[in-house]
Amino acid sequence: MSGTPEDAFAAEEEAEAPRRPRLAWALTGSGHDFLPCLEIIRRIGEVDVFVSKAASEVIWMYTRDRRPFPAEVRVIRDTTASAAPVGRFYKGWYHTLVIAPASSNTVAKCVFGISDTLPTNVFAQAGKCRIPIIVYACDTKPVHITAAPDRIVTVYPRAVDLENTERLRSFERTTVVESVAELERAIAARLAELAGSAGQEG
Ligand SMILES: Cc1cc2nc3c(=O)[nH]c(=O)nc-3n(C[C@H](O)[C@H](O)[C@H](O)COP(=O)(O)O)c2cc1C
């Protein structure tokens, strides 16, 4: 997708609907458990990944790989002010949104209703389309240990970060998880729920 509004609009017109509703995944610029999250996306495969500008940089810092996803994973980058790709949520392309890992910045914007990046826009639009959301919020404890690209660091989330995570828990159809293991369980439970309801329909 290049620079003009016409290009952005045309790219969305041409985007192909997935064969069946799939998972939408928003990647933010949080490096916390970044590689395990990429691994889950690779394993699931049928995923559209909405990448913030910061996440585009962080992917490179952690992987040094220009093509870190397999072909079935579609990567949607943050190139338009209007977040043109969010229209896909209104076409029924996604059954669930995962935001993982979620930066302090993205969580803060989400809980105050700000939508000015691709992850914050997909959060708002998934909410308005009543699509279930799973958020791996990293600022859940007063101290946590995390992997920077070149070292292990100790992080002390501020009161405002912890308060914003608490606010997020009160959002409709939103599950906040605190670890990769919990994230995997929440995704598995959601996929099992969808498989169960598809079985009942068939
Ligand atoms: C290597 C690296 C690791 C980062 N890790 C975190 C993190 O764990 N948590 C966080 O909130 N921000 C982290 N950041 C900062 C975010 O990328 C930054 O706040 C950015 O503005 C977030 O934008 P986004 O929320 O639109 O993705 C990290 C930045 C870098 C360069």
The CB-side HSE value for 178 (13 A sphere, CA atoms) comes to: 11
Q: What one-character DSSP code corresponds to residue 24? A: E
Predicted TM-score (pTM) of the model is 0.95
95 closest CA partner among 191, 165, 181, 202:
191
Q: What is d(CA 154, CA 108) in angstroms, rounded to the nearest whole number?
A: 21
- Ligand 1 centroid distance, CA of 13 (Å): 31
Specify the ligand 1 atom closest to the Cα of 155.
8
Which runs of consecutive H residues, i.e. helices, occur in the chain? 5-14, 34-44, 53-63, 87-90, 104-111, 118-128, 159-169, 180-201
pLDDT tens-digit readout, 51-60: 999 999 999 9
* pLDDT < 50 positions in the chain: 1
181 Cβ closer than 6 Å to some ligand 1 atom? no
pLDDT of amino acid 5: 74
For 98, the enclosing helix (H) or strand (E) is strand 94-102
pLDDT of amino acid 202: 61
pLDDT of amino acid 1: 45
- Ligand 1 centroid distance, CA of 84 (Å): 23
**Residue ranges of the domains in the chain?**
18-201
pLDDT of amino acid 181: 98
18-201 CATH choice from 3.10.310.50, 3.40.640.10, 3.10.20.310, 3.40.50.1950: 3.40.50.1950
pLDDT of amino acid 62: 94
pLDDT of amino acid 200: 80
